[in-house]
Structure 1
Amino acid sequence: MTANLLADLPDASAGEVFTELLHRPGIRIERIVSQGQVTPEDEPMVQDWDEWVLLVEGAAGLRVEGSAEVELRPGDHLLIEKGRKHWVTWTAKDRPTVWLAVHLD
């Protein structure tokens, strides 16, 4: 069965929407739809697994502990290593920002 990552995007204006696309031992893939969300400075995200993220649509800012903020546009991707604090510093407010996140155990 085929599916389209950009089809039927949920309304994320009230909060990010996480949709699990695949889950197998050692790997989980999800679509994240954001619209105006940010990570509070005093509540960084920290995960017990590596996460590779690809910005598919929209725009966002991301800061990883020990690095400067980067602006992400469609096609940009990066690896966030296990245990690294990171913050989404901004996401587009006027349109959905779509991420593909691959979680690696």
Structure 2
Amino acid sequence: MNNIFDSIPSDLSSEIFDDLVSSDTVKIERIISKGQTSPDFGWYDQEQHEWVIIIAGSAIIGFDDKPSVTLKTGDYLNIPAHQKHKVAWTDPDVETVWLAVHY
């Protein structure tokens, strides 16, 4: 038995990525952010679809060809493969806990 909130480190100066399940066709990861954003070097342009849900906290996802989306606790979003996107903002005051499914 595991819990999504277990083992959250006190030092969140860097974003945390933990693979929870991984196979040839799907990866489920927990992401923990606290004020981090995507790197400045460009957009994520992934080979697989990505479904994300905010378990706690809030974030803004930016897209290259449509308006940004604000996500809060309980909100989820499907990002199709090759949809260019980036994390524009995560709450700097509380942990944002994401669940991301790459399929």
Same structural fold, with TM-score higher than 0.5 when normalized by the shorter chain: yes
Tell me the residue number matched to 1:24: 23
CA distance in 1, matches of 2:88, 2:70: 9
CA distance in 1, matches of 2:78, 2:64: 13
> What amino acid maps onto 1:26 in structure 2?
T
* Deviations 1:26-69 (CA, angstroms, capped at 9, x unpaired): 11100000111112455111111110000110111112232211
Matched, 1:8 2:7: yes
CA distance in 1, matches of 2:99, 2:10: 17
* Deviations 1:52-98 (CA, angstroms, capped at 9, x unpaired): 00011011111223221111101101111111110111001111100
CA distance in 2, matches of 1:8, 1:39: 23
Structure 1: which 5+ runs fail to align? none
Percent identity at matched positions? 37
CA distance in 2, matches of 1:42, 1:22: 28
> What amino acid maps onto 1:86 in structure 2?
H
- Pair 63,103 (structure 1): closer, same or farther in 2 beyond 3 Å: same
Structure 2: which 5+ runs fail to align? none
> What amino acid maps onto 1:93 in structure 2?
P
Pairwise CA RMSD: 1.4
Give the number of aligned pairs: 103
Tell me the residue number matched to 2:63: 64
The TM-score with structure 2 as length reference comes to: 0.91
Q: Which moved more, 1:43-52 or 1:63-72?
A: 63-72
CA distance in 1, matches of 2:71, 2:10: 21
CA distance in 2, matches of 1:99, 1:38: 13
- Pair 26,12 (structure 1): closer, same or farther in 2 beyond 3 Å: farther
The TM-score with structure 1 as length reference comes to: 0.89
